[in-house]
């Protein structure tokens, strides 16, 4: 199978002011929010430089202007400082605002397909992944207060974290949950097809970036087509994924 290089023209980046992104950080410099990563990949795909504003849980006051408390939030100085929150809304905003740049969806049909990919991942694989990494997410919080806050808010959703967590023992379940992705990537190098990555690729890659940022657990076997795809995604856009702080031993 041919593996086209992700299109990325760094020169075009200099023609547009950086978009600021409020990005969730653990310590030190571990960017672990999948939703922030999805937005980050999408901005890079549009060949727009990124200005990272580090943000931690419970810093809602810093993004109060967005009238909600979750990241990612982006601020676009090329559009009079317009802000957008929510990774999906950000992808749609970028596609609409920068139609002359490489497309995130490849057209309206691709937009619907990208939404389906997100819904699929969120309806199963995400829980399998959470079981592997949840304790690592808690440990990455930089103060005991934040760790306690993380525990309390997540235990309300998942129950006692030590019981919910499987650590590395959950890898076979996660791999099994990825079967539709595996079968698709056996036929195409990207969810965006032969041309290169699309937003559907960004979304799933962002989940692997969460794991890479915080967890030493190996999620994929080397002979898995998803492994090679993850390598391509982490190397895309100037190696944005590979250059991030994380656990190379987990790859």
Ligand X SMILES: N[C@@H](CCC(=O)N[C@@H](CS)C(=O)NCC(=O)O)C(=O)O
In terms of CB distance, is 185 or 207 closer to ligand X? 207
Least spacing, CB of residue 1 vs ligand X, in Å: 31
Q: To which residue do tokens 């997100």 refer?
A: 118
Contact present, 130 and 215 (Cβ < 8 Å): no
Q: Which residues pair with 20 in a beta bridge?
A: 51, 75
In terms of CB distance, is 13 or 42 closer to ligand X? 42
For the chain, the helix, strand and coil percentages under 3-state DSSP, each to the nearest 5: 55, 10, 35
Q: To which residue do tokens 């994929």 refer?
A: 220
Q: Hey, is 165 helix, strand or coil?
A: coil
Contact present, 5 and 196 (Cβ < 8 Å): yes
In terms of CB distance, is 12 or 154 closer to ligand X? 154
Q: Which residues, in sequence order, are CB contacts of 21 under 8 Å at separation 6+?
A: 36, 39, 40, 43, 50, 51, 52, 53, 72, 73, 74
Least spacing, CB of residue 171 vs ligand X, in Å: 22
CA nearest neighbour of 8 among 237, 192, 229, 242: 237
Q: For residue 23, how far is the Cα from the chain centroid? A: 11
Least spacing, CB of residue 155 vs ligand X, in Å: 13
Least spacing, CB of residue 70 vs ligand X, in Å: 4
Q: Hey, is 158 helix, strand or coil?
A: helix
In terms of CB distance, is 113 or 228 closer to ligand X? 113
Pair of tokens at residue 166: 């499987």
Residues of this chain that interact with ligand X (CB under 6 A) are: 24, 33, 35, 57, 69-72, 86-88
Least spacing, CB of residue 108 vs ligand X, in Å: 20
CA nearest neighbour of 36 among 80, 84, 77, 95: 84
In terms of CB distance, is 60 or 239 closer to ligand X? 60
In terms of CB distance, is 35 or 212 closer to ligand X? 35
Least spacing, CB of residue 57 vs ligand X, in Å: 5
């Amino acid at each position: 199978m041919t593996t086209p290089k992700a299109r990325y023209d760094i020169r075009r980046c200099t023609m547009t002011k950086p978009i600021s992104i409020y990005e969730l950080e653990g310590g030190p410099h571990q960017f672990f929010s999948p939703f922030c990563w999805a937005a980050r990949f999408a901005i890079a795909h549009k060949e727009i430089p990124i200005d990272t504003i580090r943000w931690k849980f419970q810093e809602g006051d810093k993004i109060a202007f967005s009238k909600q408390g979750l990241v990612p939030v982006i601020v676009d100085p090329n559009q009079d400082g317009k802000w957008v929150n929510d990774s999906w809304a950000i992808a749609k905003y970028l596609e609409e605002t920068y139609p002359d740049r490489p497309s995130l969806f490849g057209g309206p049909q691709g937009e619907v397909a990208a939404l389906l990919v997100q819904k699929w991942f969120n309806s199963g694989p995400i829980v399998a992944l959470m079981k592997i990494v949840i304790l690592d997410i808690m440990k990455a919080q930089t103060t005991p207060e934040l760790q306690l806050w993380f525990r309390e808010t997540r235990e309300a959703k998942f129950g006692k974290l030590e019981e919910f967590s499987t650590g590395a023992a959950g890898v076979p379940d996660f791999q099994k949950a990825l079967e539709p992705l595996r079968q698709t990537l056996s036929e195409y190098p990207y969810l965006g097809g032969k041309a290169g990555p699309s937003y559907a690729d960004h979304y799933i890659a962002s989940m692997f970036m969460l794991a890479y940022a915080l967890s030493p657990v190996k999620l994929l076997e080397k002979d898995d087509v998803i492994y090679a795809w993850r390598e391509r995604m982490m190397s895309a856009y100037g190696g944005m994924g590979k250059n991030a702080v994380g656990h190379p031993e987990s790859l």
